[in-house]
Structure 1
Amino acid sequence: MSGRPDADTASSPSLRAQPGTVHDRGRRSLLAAGAVAAGATLALPLRALAQASSTAGVLSPEVLAKRQAEMLLAHPDAVQNVITAFVDGRTPSAKGLLLDVAMLADNPSAVPVRVSVDPSLITESNWCEELIILAEKNPIPLACRMYFTPLAGVAEAAVRVRLARSQAIHALARMKDGQILEARRDVTVAASGCGM
């Protein structure tokens, strides 16, 4: 026996609610209450519903579109805050970091970005510890952060970044000795890749 009731016993009349029993009356009163609630909701005048909507904080389509556009813009200080925290008071060097990205991005949803530290700067005692890539006009400018160890031997990475619009891409690398390397490249996109 499988522990399941036979098809005959599951559908037997003795297990179903019989008309006039307690189970049948409970089910019928529940259905009646649901019908009354649905009818009462439909019976509300449309004017009352419109007043409730306007007082409940519903935004007009114009205001909603403006707020959504503002949310998709990067905060003006966001990129500078990330850069300031990364450099930690040091002056970045414009030499030693190669940022390879096309000037014109055909597909803004997946822009290939390749970053590498000059191999002549990497020694047994000095290597790239951390590398970040920023897209300055994206809603969240920090596109990626990578950490390296001396066992890597090289510090290079290839990623694809989604871009909201034409903007500058920044790459920053922190060496073990504290030196900061920086590279920047402007990219023009054909269309938005961040939902705009």
Structure 2
Amino acid sequence: MPSRVFLVQTLFVLTPPLRAEASAIATADSPEGVIFLVMAGFVVYMVQDSCKNMTMYCLFMLGLMASFQCFFDALALFSVLGGRETSVSSVQGTENNVTVITRITQHPFFDRSMGEQYNTQSAVLLASPLVMSLVASMCYLSYNAFSESLFEAEAGPIEGWGQAARYGASESVERTQPSPPRLFEGHGHRLSG
């Protein structure tokens, strides 16, 4: 069972995702908000009753989710580090002739003139990969605190080598693996006379 130090660390990790989730929902990024809610639900489930539910399976799943989310959030962050674009479209014309004008404007990553929602979105874009890497790291450390492993080493041979016959057939003598080819051995041959 993980120590109380990992409980405190996990609770430390829980606070930023809840804040980021609230910010993501407030900035109209609902898919990311849902992902944060699912992950926060995992953490709440795991830390109940002094980490009674903190199994290796839950830690592995949460760590995997956090790692994937960190990767995709980092891609999103790197794509807008040079500045973010906003677009405004307007429709002009008559029934027979319609013109759609789209104006694309480049803004710095943080821009006071764009308002609070724009800057909150930028802050969430910046914080999300950091928080997800922190969650993945804490899952890794907590997972390694267990004395046993979720994935045990292979106990026997692979693909039936050295195994008895299958499905009711009589037991056979052990098969031997073919020896690998012997390269660069043999007699030399002269190509020209």
As a proportion of its length, which structure holds more strand? 1
The TM-score by the shorter chain falls in which range? under 0.3
Larger radius of gyration: 1
